[in-house]
């Protein structure tokens, strides 16, 4: 409902990210602690807009946001810890993300009710009172001429709401909990949201669906800005979902030039790695699934989808593709050409932050930031993207690889490659978007009902263009991506792309 809207929550996040980026670009260790201490007072003071009932509460919440944006964990509630505690350990460019990635800021949580049906003032007290008639537990009675639900008897079946002719019965749900497809959101002893990290797959849907901004993720924006300010050779790889994320009239040439102005030495498309993946997956499907060696093949490019399979369906782990994700494949290509450079992945995804923290990936990807965080870095440097234009656009990838950014695009790209390379092979494709649907399709696969299929899963409803780090509405992003794919000079990568050595 609130995805893509420029809400107050987004404005606060962007302001915090911008101030943290400024800290990183300043790169002054002598004043770092004092500068960090000053940020909450700069963002929340008597002259700024009042977002909550108390200036002091607003400032306390900003302090915790600031810590997360610096790559630090929240402070404990039961003992005194200074705002800047741990900053020295984070004041390095080699700082990686430490789980948990997603954290609830307790002071920002409004303790929303988890699941409750309640009669509103729209109730007419009608003679038929169908709500009471359909209730299987007799939980509804008439009080002062209006329907009343006894919460002790209610089993939350929703039959009363469906039967009411005036739509006078509301279903109250905790937004973050509703958005979580793995049921990782529970309540603490005070009724506030709490993330069960044994279940969480770090997709970030809880974060972007909380209307109070009580959930936030950690960032590497400070460390990246610091590395750029010190003149290190850093190459950017940008995910194909970038189109339209930085303004309606901002072209790939604008993006490419603005990134160089920010300090990046080169810019590559992550869609290059997607092309490599599509080719190898096509061969893998034909050699393993079509021959019956594997019952089905699961894509692996979405980290939250892969994490979901490993946590909840360990029996299907052998069917998860072992091919490199587009982020890693592109990074390895970059480091072959620029062996001394650091690589930053810029994309729409929160869970990529944890993927890059894996020991097997750390040597390839040094930083991960989202489109939201990149915009804050542009703001910190006062870079107007429309005033910069590179001599050339992106020419690293094909339409197939660029299409990975939309739900169904991964499977579609692999299918195109199979039909191009193996025209006599029939391909069976399935895809799911959103963790709830992903769980359903994995259950079907485990039960043997999807044998012979190539199965794509995307944790975010809509795919990467709907990731937690995006800036614009999903439908708008989908339209922009479709045009980008259509205008690609090449549709399908060559079969020989698989032969690129990425060891």
This prediction's pTM: 0.93
More confident residue, 98 or 477: 477
107-142 per-position pLDDT tens digit: 999 999 888 999 999 999 999 999 999 999 999 999
* Cα–Cα dist 49/213, whole Å: 16
How many whole angstroms separate alpha carbon 452 and alpha carbon 428? 7
pLDDT tens figures, 406-439 = 999 999 999 999 999 999 999 999 999 999 999 9
Averaged pLDDT, 76-81: 91
CB 261 within 8 A of CB 388: yes
User: What are the pLDDT digits (tens) for 306-357?
Assistant: 999 999 999 999 999 988 999 999 999 999 999 999 999 999 999 999 999 8
Residue 144's pLDDT is what? 94
Q: Find out whether 361 and 368 touch, Cβ atoms under 8 Å.
A: no
- Element at 432 (helix H, strand E): strand 428-433
Number of Cβ atoms within 10 Å of the Cβ of 95: 20
- Which residues pair with residue 169 across a beta bridge? 119
Average pLDDT over residues 177-204: 96
Mean pLDDT for 224-231 is 95
CA distance 98 to 217: 11
Average pLDDT of span 238-244: 97
pLDDT score recorded for residue 501:
46
Q: Which two tokens stand for residue 208?
A: 């972007």
Taking 60 as the threshold, does the pLDDT of residue 503 lie above it? Answer: no
Q: Two tokens at 287?
A: 């050699």
pLDDT at 495: 82
* pLDDT at residue 441 tops 90: yes
Sign of CA dihedral 319, 466, 414, 437: positive
Question: What pLDDT score was predicted for residue 391?
Answer: 87
Percent of the chain with pLDDT over 70: 98
Instruction: Tell me: pLDDT of 209 over 50.
Output: yes
* pLDDT grade for 499, boundaries at 50, 70 and 90: low
**Which pLDDT score, from 0 to 100, does residue 188 have?**
94
Measured distance CA(10)–CA(121) in Å, rounded: 32
Start-end of H helices in 86-214: 87-90, 130-134, 159-163, 175-179, 205-209
Query: 3-class SS at 127?
Result: coil
pLDDT band, very low/low/confident/very high, at 500 (cuts 50, 70, 90): low
Which residues, in sequence order, are bridge partners of residue 456? 431
Measure Cα distances from 350 to 205, 210, 300, 369, 401 in Å. 9, 15, 16, 8, 20
Among residues 31, 30, 432, the alpha carbon closest in space to that of 39 is found at 31
More confident: 167 or 363: 167
For the segment 149-158, the average pLDDT, to the nearest whole number, is 96
Tens digit of each residue's pLDDT (9 = 90 or more) over 353-405: 999 988 888 889 999 999 999 999 999 999 999 999 998 889 889 999 999 99
Residue % of the chain over a pLDDT of 90 = 87
Structural contact between residues 229 and 264, judged by C-beta atoms closer than 8 angstroms: no
Mean per-residue pLDDT of the chain: 94
């Amino acid at each position: 409902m609130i995805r893509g809207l420029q809400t107050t929550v987004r404005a606060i996040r962007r302001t915090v990210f911008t101030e943290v980026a400024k800290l990183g670009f300043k790169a002054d260790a002598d004043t770092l602690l004092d500068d960090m201490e000053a940020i909450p007072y700069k963002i929340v003071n008597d002259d700024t807009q009042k977002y909550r009932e108390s200036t002091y509460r607003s400032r306390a919440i900003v302090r915790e946001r600031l810590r997360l944006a610096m790559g630090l964990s929240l402070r404990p509630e039961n003992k005194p810890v200074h705002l800047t505690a741990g900053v020295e350990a984070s004041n390095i460019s080699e700082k990686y993300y430490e789980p948990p990635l997603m954290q609830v800021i307790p002071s920002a949580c409004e303790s929303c009710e988890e699941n409750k049906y309640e009669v509103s003032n729209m109730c007419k007290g009608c003679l038929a009172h169908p709500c009471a008639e359909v209730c299987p537990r007799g939980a509804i009675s008439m009080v002062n001429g209006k329907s009343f639900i006894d919460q002790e008897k209610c089993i939350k079946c929703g039959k009363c709401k469906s039967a009411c002719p005036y739509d006078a019965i509301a279903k109250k749900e905790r937004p973050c909990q509703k958005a979580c497809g793995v049921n990782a959101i529970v309540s603490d002893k005070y009724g506030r949201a709490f993330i069960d990290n044994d279940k969480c797959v770090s997709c970030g849907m809880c974060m972007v669906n909380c209307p109070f901004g009580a959930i936030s993720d950690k960032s590497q924006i400070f460390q990246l800005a610091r590395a750029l300010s010190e003149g290190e050779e850093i190459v950017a790889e940008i995910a194909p979902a970038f189109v339209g994320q930085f303004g309606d009239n901002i072209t790939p040439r604008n993006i490419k030039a603005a990134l160089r102005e920010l300090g990046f030495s080169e810019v590559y498309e992550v869609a290059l790695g997607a092309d490599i993946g599509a080719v190898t997956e096509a061969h893998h499907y034909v050699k393993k699934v079509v021959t019956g060696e594997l019952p089905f093949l699961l894509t692996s490019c979405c980290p939250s989808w892969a994490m979901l399979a490993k946590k909840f369906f360990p029996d299907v782990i052998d069917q998860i593709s072992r091919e490199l994700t587009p982020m890693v494949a592109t990074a390895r290509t970059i480091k072959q050409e620029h062996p001394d450079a650091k690589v930053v992945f810029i994309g729409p995804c929160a869970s990529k932050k944890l993927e890059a923290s894996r020991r097997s990936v750390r040597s390839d990807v040094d930083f991960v930031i989202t489109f939201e965080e990149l915009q804050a870095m542009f703001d910190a440097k006062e870079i107007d993207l429309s005033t910069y234009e590179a001599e050339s656009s992106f020419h690293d990838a094909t339409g197939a690889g660029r299409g990975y950014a939309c739900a169904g695009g991964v499977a579609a790209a692999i299918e195109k490659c199979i039909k191009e390379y193996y025209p006599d092979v029939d391909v069976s494709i399935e895809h799911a978007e959103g963790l709830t649907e992903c769980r359903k399709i994995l259950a079907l696969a485990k039960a043997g009902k999807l044998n012979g299929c190539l199965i794509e899963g995307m944790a975010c409803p809509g795919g990467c263009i709907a990731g937690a780090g995006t800036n614009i509405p999903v439908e708008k992003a989908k339209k922009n991506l479709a045009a980008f794919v259509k205008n690609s000079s090449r549709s399908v990568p060559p079969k020989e792309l698989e032969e690129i050595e990425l060891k």
